[in-house]
Structure 1
């Protein structure tokens, strides 16, 4: 199905680029509006402060992006981003238990956010019916006379020129800073209920020259935060023969940015692989600090009234605790959902999209929020289900020290390939109850 007309995307981050790719397949023209300049090379953007931080592209995210942008993984791999078996080539330590490594078939991509975004932006920019309007601010929505449909946006360029950008569909991909709730209120529409889970994450990323001596020659390492030690350490290989190291703390724990303090924080994690790398490897960047106050989900799917010709996607719908690396993957799956809905046709696109997106968000949201609720200081309802799942997953981690099947099952859920309920399959439960004993047969 092809729609004659013009679609406008607000935001040129990953969510906006994904939306632009999908819309270009059905609209005559697509315009991507962003307040930033668009760099010609792979470089951090001012409007994406997290672009200097370590980003992990989950296995499902890589698959979804390859569906949206054919051959993207191979292209990035040719640019130096290694493909990584997320179990066999990574040291995992969950709740203090080292996971037994084994081939898993879960393939991630060791790529920085600037290179990934640059590769995707370059592809979108080459589409004949897509154009970018950089250094342009969107100040309001423009509606039809009866207020039922969004027909454009009011824009102001950095040089002061103002005007109206008319559109048949507007998609807000403005991320956490989305102004849609404010604009809906101004237009007399109800605003979505907002669910916030304060976690107060502070994370500091630094790049190091990669040396095969470190991590026993593997390509990554991770140790998670837990109530008795609310600190996380992650190492991920990247293009350019680099390791990105992200040290983080929650609920007031903050990694220092000085060399000595950064090393001490790494040593406090109880994972020698990370401490050794930070202590001995050669830094190739200054530490970059980022603070993230809370996971935020906006329940647009519960609204009874919403303007036609308008959608919200990506972090503007739901912004997850970044420690779980879910944001880009969920945005890519939302892009695939939008593609299916546009192709199949039907009325009230907003209702069908928000309901479908809510189902995509439910699983990763339950993982992120349920795990964060292990910390007594985090506000939120600890239902019997949440308490049971957290206790069960802790026991699974203990059993995964010797049972590689459990490790792979956990990683498939963490990477959003399988739903969380998969961990409660009878075959998995039996292995957990056996505590990893007699599982050498896999």
Structure 2
């Protein structure tokens, strides 16, 4: 675009990562245009090209903090909409190694919003920004560059259902298209070489279903979620949360080929085998409101743009288009929020951001900590291939001690959840005072009561759903 023309940033992809990016770009560019294949504006349900929208997508504590910073008052707006809220450490029932952690509030806000509902509220705020424009129902065909291929100057798009191609000129293009990002292909076509990647096969499948509790049944009490986490002794887990509309959202998962079934009877039997009986005992009194839906996630992927020695000006990448974490750790949306804040730091003095500086800072400040933390956990499963260095093995041993200590001490749980929630870097668990606390509290093993699972039953006479279905 010409020097005297209004500046424009184009965001490819209108999901959470694209919306956070558009918000920070709107402060630096005269126009921000979001391009997506779906209809975005006004959409409250799952979108065709966002299949994970049908499953649980958690916004971790740091993601919520950034959301509130970028969109003041949005947390209250979401809660007022009817989304349950609580504390990641104090209102969530966590089970690690089949043992329940001691709960303690830590000021870590968690929201039980379904992915489409959360996306709708964030997008509604973005829609109100005067210089943000949505270009919906358009396929993204490729980049436009200068003759020397050194600078990206726009993007080629095509309205769905037509064969007419057009170019949207841009001073900056941001790829937020997710796991299926074409940027690695485009870069090779432009002569920049292959993007280094780190992949780890986890062969994960998760199944999601929604339920509604029968009147007189409330197995959650003051909690908003029940989360038995998979571990090597039982590679099955679940996230079970209160959500909007008075419903419960359950996503259960299995790793390394041990996958949950999608038939109702089989799913009930699967839930019996989770590392905690709490989920099954709750499901007994909850009516299904839809059918179980599966999603396959074979590998984690990290695209290491920071290792490229050359990169075209006028192009950045964010969100899952850079790194797809193991989704059971719910890091994707929060890392996208952190990535937007890094992008904001590089939008200074009206100058276009320098991609190599952005990718370097993004890797070190945003991606490295959660990637290394989850890599440590993933590699505790013998079937996951990877380099189990001495550092990784020591981190695994210490993390196990943290989890054991947390069955006895809520302060350890709070510190653990601050790290898992991306509020603190993992190194915070290695501070001398915390190390001493962890070692002392884990000395005699897990708390005996941590292994006692809820044998919950409603006070009133409520017919268990599962038994009723079997009788029918």
User: Which TM bucket (shorter chain)?
Assistant: over 0.9
Match of 1:426 among 428, 432, 439: 432
Which residue of structure 2 aligns with residue 331 of structure 1? 336
Deviations 1:29-85 (A, max 9, x none): 111111122252310001100000011111111001111222111111111112211
Match of 2:391 among 362, 375, 385: 385
Which residue of structure 2 aligns with residue 135 of structure 1? 137
User: How many Å separate the matches in 2 of 1:39 and 1:66?
Assistant: 21
Which residue of structure 2 aligns with residue 195 of structure 1? 198
In structure 2, the gaps of 5 or more residues are 445-472
Structure 2 residue 244 is matched with structure 1 residue 244:
no
Structure 1 residue matching 2:290: 3-state secondary structure: coil
Structure 1 residue matching 2:201: 3-state secondary structure: strand
Displacement of 1:436: 5.0
Alignment of 1:349-364 (within 5 A): 349-359=354-364, 360-364=366-370
Alignment of 1:239-278 (within 5 A): 239-278=244-283
In structure 1, the gaps of 5 or more residues are none
User: How many Å separate the matches in 1 of 2:166 and 2:411?
Assistant: 58
8 Å Cα contact 1:68-1:336 kept in structure 2: no
Structure 2 residue 234 is matched with structure 1 residue 232:
no
Deviations 1:168-211 (A, max 9, x none): 11111010000001001111112320100111110011111146
Displacement of 1:274: 0.4
Structure 2 residue 407 is matched with structure 1 residue 401:
yes
8 Å Cα contact 2:85-2:224 kept in structure 1: no
User: How many Å separate the matches in 2 of 1:196 and 1:261?
Assistant: 32
Structure 2 residue 212 is matched with structure 1 residue 206:
no
- CA gap of 1:215–1:34, structure 2 versus 1, over 3 A, is same
Q: Which moved more, 1:243-252 or 1:156-165?
A: 156-165
Which residue of structure 1 aligns with residue 465 of structure 2? none
Q: Which moved more, 1:417-426 or 1:208-217?
A: 208-217
Following superposition, which runs of at least 4 residues in structure 1 exceed 4 angstroms of deviation?
344-348
Match of 1:114 among 105, 113, 116: 116
User: How many Å separate the matches in 2 of 1:27 and 1:391?
Assistant: 48
User: How many Å separate the matches in 2 of 1:217 and 1:124?
Assistant: 33
Structure 2 residue matching 1:137: 3-state secondary structure: strand
Structure 2 residue matching 1:277: 3-state secondary structure: helix
User: How many Å separate the matches in 2 of 1:106 and 1:37?
Assistant: 33
Instruction: Give me the TM-score of the superposition, normalised by structure 1.
Output: 0.95
Match of 1:369 among 351, 365, 375: 375
8 Å Cα contact 1:88-1:104 kept in structure 2: yes
Displacement of 1:96: 1.7
- CA gap of 1:344–1:225, structure 2 versus 1, over 3 A, is farther
8 Å Cα contact 1:403-1:436 kept in structure 2: no
Which residue of structure 2 aligns with residue 98 of structure 1? 100
Cα RMSD for the two superposed structures: 1.7
8 Å Cα contact 2:9-2:32 kept in structure 1: yes
User: How many Å separate the matches in 1 of 2:235 and 2:111?
Assistant: 27
Match of 1:306 among 304, 311, 325: 311
Structure 2 residue matching 1:64: 3-state secondary structure: helix
Structure 1 residue matching 2:280: 3-state secondary structure: helix
Deviations 1:208-246 (A, max 9, x none): 114662134421111111112110111112111121111
Which residue of structure 1 aligns with residue 451 of structure 2? none
8 Å Cα contact 1:215-1:274 kept in structure 2: no
User: How many Å separate the matches in 2 of 1:436 and 1:389?
Assistant: 15
Which residue of structure 1 aligns with residue 464 of structure 2? none
Which residue of structure 2 aligns with residue 290 of structure 1? 295
User: How many Å separate the matches in 2 of 1:60 and 1:130?
Assistant: 25
Alignment of 1:310-325 (within 5 A): 310-325=315-330
Structure 2 residue 15 is matched with structure 1 residue 16:
no
Displacement of 1:326: 0.3
Deviations 1:358-411 (A, max 9, x none): 021001101111110011111110011111111111122112111111111111
Q: Which moved more, 1:341-350 or 1:55-64?
A: 341-350
Displacement of 1:146: 1.8
Displacement of 1:347: 6.4
User: How many Å separate the matches in 2 of 1:94 and 1:394?
Assistant: 9
User: How many Å separate the matches in 2 of 1:4 and 1:190?
Assistant: 33
8 Å Cα contact 2:401-2:442 kept in structure 1: no
Displacement of 1:309: 0.6
User: How many Å separate the matches in 2 of 1:203 and 1:80?
Assistant: 26
Displacement of 1:103: 2.1
Which residue of structure 2 aligns with residue 181 of structure 1? 184
Displacement of 1:167: 0.8
User: How many Å separate the matches in 2 of 1:385 and 1:278?
Assistant: 41
Alignment of 1:26-45 (within 5 A): 26-38=28-40, 40-45=42-47
Displacement of 1:276: 1.1
